[in-house]
Amino acid sequence: MSQEATSTADVPLMGTVLAVQANYYQVRLNPSLLAPLSEKGKALRSSPLLLCTRRARLKKLGQQVMVGDRVEIVEPDWAGGRGAIASVLPRKSQLDRPPVANAEQILLVFALEEPPLDPYQLSRFLVKAESTGLDVRLCLNKSDLLTIEQQQQWHNRLEQWGYQPVFVSVRQGNGISEVRNLLKLRISAMAGPSGVGKSSLINALVPTVNLRTSEVSGKLSRGRHTTRHVELFTLPDGGLLADTPGFNQPDLNYHPHELVNFFPEARQRLTQQTCQFSDCLHRDEPNCAVRGDWERYEHYLAFLEDAIAHQEQIDQQADPESSLKLKTKRGRRQYEPKLETKYRRHSRRTQHQALQELYQEADELQ
Ligand code: GDP
Ligand code: ZN
């Protein structure tokens, strides 16, 4: 057993989990901290990979290990490329479906054409991405199918939404280096509907992607296409990219009052002025700072209805008597009687419809 990869015996051996399959973890050891920044990407790619198990103690503690986790490795067997994970560093962030730790941003990919860019669907994905609390970057592919003027129109429109989209044509090789720059030295999660060119983009960003997949042997490679398998692709200049298929099934796991925070342009309005009521839902309450003449306000209202229906369902599941509680809650809203009517409009039928829609959407996105 050689010690060449450890500088000194008492420095813990740290690495990043790149792939998880069943009880095996593929871990890339951290490059030397002494590597100059410009060399870091190169160092990241060339540092050794170990196939690791999880120490029994972690299992007992119920400590899950996810891709993106920073872990301490013990008992390295350099010749056999094996090791064991002894501990997991606290996570800076955690995505649950699929499980990815320490991601800093979501790279949302949509196509401008084929399929045509649908503002409502885009909004829905953006809101879902924003709800993770991570930075959200927008990448618009198939720019080869639009004129420069049409691209400019989308650019201006999305700027109003609070985004600076990167225009890409994987087919023509345009914009790829811009995307690379966005992903440099960070963990990012890619999301977007199918057919927009995500796989094509990954292939363009990670030229060795097929090579790397076939490199991984035994238990890891067998799970390549199963849903339980999650993998971080290593980009040539040091970023890590997770393809997040589970992210494509829209769910509404946020509270109605949170929703406004997932619209950058609404957040902007709230920095300039506050609403009269601290529990304002920004519908028809008096002196609301959010309601107004901005394009996606309609989307906000539609998503709010969904979120309220979802919340009512959760309340009811938690406590079958909750309709009474809801009434008490509404009782406090005497300043705004219309609100009461709107709440009540969420009959079982509406909830059912919302659910149906969700299932349909999830099906379409499969
Ligand atoms: P995914 O489902 O998001 O992974 O999408 P794919 O990568 O499988 O691509 C879907 C289709 O879009 C394929 O037929 C690609 O050839 C096509 N495509 C990908 N990128 C581009 C592009 O930049 N321009 C055009 N016109 N087509 C593209
Ligand atoms: Zn308001």
pLDDT higher than threshold 90 for residue 10 = no
**Strand 187-191, strand 105-111: pairing:** parallel
Position with higher pLDDT, 309 vs 325: 309
Which residues are registered as beta bridge partners of 77? 82
Contact 145, 116 (CB under 8 A): no
Q: Whose CA is nearest to atom 9 of ligand 1?
A: 197
CB contact burial 227-245 (16+ within 10 A = b; e otherwise):
eebbbbbbbebbbbbbbbb
How many Cβ atoms are within 10 Å of 180's Cβ, its own excluded?
15
How many Cβ atoms are within 10 Å of 181's Cβ, its own excluded?
11
Which of 98-112, 184-198, 212-226 is predicted with the least confidence, judged by mean pLDDT? Answer: 212-226
pLDDT higher than threshold 60 for residue 152 = yes
Structure tokens at 162: 């609070």
CATH class of 3-90: mainly beta
Ligand 1, pocket-test mutation among 125, 200, 365, most atoms within 8 A of CB? 200
∠ CA(166), CA(112), CA(167), 5° rounding? 15
Q: What are phi and psi of 189, to 5 degrees?
A: -115, 130
Cα-to-centroid distance, 200 and ligand 1 (Å):
6
Cα-to-centroid distance, 138 and ligand 1 (Å):
16
Which residues are registered as beta bridge partners of 94? 101
Q: Which residues line ligand 1 (CB under 6 A)?
A: 141-142, 144-145, 169-171, 194-200
- Residue 37: per-residue pLDDT: 55
Q: Domain spanning 256-341 has what CATH number?
A: 1.10.40
Instruction: Kindly report, residue by residue over 266-280, the tens digit of the pLDDT.
Output: 999 999 999 999 999
Q: Whose CA is nearest to atom 17 of ligand 1?
A: 197
User: How many residues can be counted in the chain?
Assistant: 366
Cα-to-centroid distance, 171 and ligand 1 (Å):
8
Give percent of the chain above pLDDT 90: 59
315 pLDDT band, cuts 50/70/90, is confident
Closest ligand 1 atom, residue 201 Cα: 7
Computed on alpha carbons and rounded to an integer, the radius of gyration of the chain in Å comes to 24
Cα-to-centroid distance, 117 and ligand 1 (Å):
14
Ligand nearest to the Cα of 292, by number:
2
Highest mean pLDDT among 27-31, 182-186, 250-254: 182-186
**Strand 24-29, strand 187-191: pairing:** unpaired
Cα-to-centroid distance, 170 and ligand 1 (Å):
8
Ligand nearest to the Cα of 285, by number:
2
pLDDT higher than threshold 70 for residue 46 = no
Instruction: Kindly report, residue by residue over 78-117, the tens digit of the pLDDT.
Output: 999 999 999 999 999 998 877 899 999 999 999 999 999 9
- Residue 332: per-residue pLDDT: 41
Cα-to-centroid distance, 211 and ligand 1 (Å):
21
Contact 88, 12 (CB under 8 A): no
Q: What is the mean pLDDT of the chain?
A: 80
Bin 205: left if φ > 0, else alpha if -120 < ψ < 50, else beta.
Answer: alpha
Position with higher pLDDT, 107 vs 223: 107
**Mean pLDDT value of segment 226-251:** 74
- Residue 282: per-residue pLDDT: 98
Q: Where in the chain is the domain with CATH 3.40.50.300?
A: 95-243
Ligand 1, pocket-test mutation among 108, 168, 170, most atoms within 8 A of CB? 170
Ligand nearest to the Cα of 300, by number:
2
Contact 99, 78 (CB under 8 A): no
- Residue 153: per-residue pLDDT: 98
**Strand 24-29, strand 13-21: pairing:** antiparallel
Q: Whose CA is nearest to atom 10 of ligand 1?
A: 195
Q: What are phi and psi of 107, to 5 degrees?
A: -100, 105
Residue holding tokens 């320490």?
Answer: 102
- Residue 245: per-residue pLDDT: 64
Q: Where in the chain is the domain with CATH 2.40.50.140?
A: 3-90
Q: Whose CA is nearest to atom 25 of ligand 1?
A: 142
95-243: CATH topology: Rossmann fold (3.40.50)
- Residue 216: per-residue pLDDT: 39
**Mean pLDDT value of segment 172-176:** 97
124 pLDDT band, cuts 50/70/90, is very high
Closest CA to 182 of 158, 165, 161, 204: 165
Q: Where in the chain is the domain with CATH 1.10.40?
A: 256-341
pLDDT higher than threshold 50 for residue 340 = no
- Residue 293: per-residue pLDDT: 94
Cα-to-centroid distance, 234 and ligand 1 (Å):
21
